[in-house]
Amino acid sequence: MKLLIAAGGTAGHVLPALAVVEELRQRCDSFEGTLVGRRGGVEKTLAEEAGLSFEGLWIEGWVHRSIPARARALGKLPFAFIQSRFILNRFQPDVVLGMGSYVSLPVMLVASRLRIRTLIHEQNRAPGLANRMCASRVDRIAASFPVDSSVFPEKKTTLTGVPIRSELLRASSPATPSEDRLRVLVFGGSQGAQLLNQSLLDALTHIDPSDYQFQLLAGREHADGLRDSLRSSKHSIKVHGYLQNMGAAYSWADLIICRGGASTLAEITALGKPAIIVPLENPDQLANADFLGENGGATVLRGSELTGARLAETLEELRSDPAQRAEMARIAASKGLPDAAGKVAEMILELETGQSSG
């Protein structure tokens, strides 16, 4: 089969699509894929590493930006529609998969106009603008959270979850709980690492070094400076600029401190990990974090209340209450959908064979 994927803006929109590609390669005798993303973004590198061809659009995001930046982005949009048509006509896909974000909008609307079979995936609890605009025009919709039928038509919407990498699931067998120290994995991603990094540094002054072990995924640009800052610290803390094997890190951890991105929450629920979530102050992450926090599957701290003292207090509460951590893990696991990649792949294969809804 031939699949064209429209995804980009951030790696968080691309990585779930690559999990679906992995699943389709296992199921299909013949598979050819191409990724359409933002020209100059991280998408090209991710596509090439996954063995996909890449097509770059001249496009920018326009939501939550200044008026001049929004005007510039909207001015590029007509050209992105023209590019999308040329790409679709040249590649001739059987199915087009849109992963949300501004990159997918022109591709999905043009594909539906050309009567190519289409599927969109929405990873957030609050559906984004691009997917809301495409919902009435595409053939199928994969949702990661229950969504009101006034937003996505119920007949063509399937609850799948966010696809995650199979190697992460394979590597992350449950760790044996530490008898003496709570093992904490901290990561914030490229957009949020620095706030979590500094908050953790501040929290270390309020907690006993003998009670914790930390792994901190600080980001490449911050790792060396943090190692220098911690050189004289008595705490057991390993700082990483980048982690190749996130599955092993998840398996090691008793507790996660993270942001509220959809892929991150899909991972911690699929693996059943208790977490302290510090969402970015945007509607997507706030809604995602609240979904898990409201159900008791995580502790949610807003950025405005995140101080070293507050983080230390929360760590101490959870360290001293293993039963609470176990209950958080149980609830998180009950919300997980580890077979999301398989479900989305199945929807794509149904579209290829002519089943437009189900």
Residues 159 and 42 grouped into a single domain: yes
pTM of the model: 0.87
Q: Evaluate whether residue 357 is within a structural domain.
A: no
Residues 160 and 70 grouped into a single domain: yes
Q: Could you tell me what percentage of the chain is helix, strand and coil, using 3-state DSSP and rounding each to the nearest 5?
A: 50, 15, 35
Please give the average per-residue pLDDT across 29-38, as a whole number: 95
The structural domain count of the chain equals 2
Q: What is the mean pLDDT of the chain?
A: 90
Q: What is the largest CA-CA distance in the chain?
A: 64
Residues 71 and 154 grouped into a single domain: yes
Distance separating alpha carbons of residues 109 and 133, to the nearest angstrom: 9
Do 278 and 195 contact (CB within 8 A), yes or no? yes
* Structure confidence by residue, pLDDT tens digits, 300-343: 999 888 999 999 999 999 999 999 999 999 999 999 999 999 99
Residues 50 and 125 grouped into a single domain: yes
Distance separating alpha carbons of residues 282 and 79, to the nearest angstrom: 29
* Structure confidence by residue, pLDDT tens digits, 208-219: 999 999 999 998
Residues 290 and 228 grouped into a single domain: yes
Identify the CATH number of the domain in which residue 262 sits. Answer: 3.40.50.2000
Question: CA-based angle 16:281:62, to the nearest 5?
Answer: 70
Please give the average per-residue pLDDT across 253-272, as a whole number: 94
* Structure confidence by residue, pLDDT tens digits, 92-107: 999 999 999 889 999 9
Task: Assign 358 a pLDDT band (cuts: 50, 70, 90).
Answer: very low
Q: Evaluate whether residue 228 is within a structural domain.
A: yes
Radius of gyration, CA atoms only, the chain: 21
Residues 153 and 196 grouped into a single domain: no
Domain extent, residue 317, equals 168-335
Q: Evaluate whether residue 172 is within a structural domain.
A: yes
Residues 150 and 215 grouped into a single domain: no
Residues 21 and 73 grouped into a single domain: yes
Question: What's the length of the chain?
Answer: 358
Residues 347 and 302 grouped into a single domain: no
Q: What is the DSSP string of 112-131?
A: HHTT-EEEEEE-SSS--HHH
Residues 7 and 135 grouped into a single domain: yes
Q: Evaluate whether residue 325 is within a structural domain.
A: yes
Residues 229 and 274 grouped into a single domain: yes
Q: Evaluate whether residue 196 is within a structural domain.
A: yes
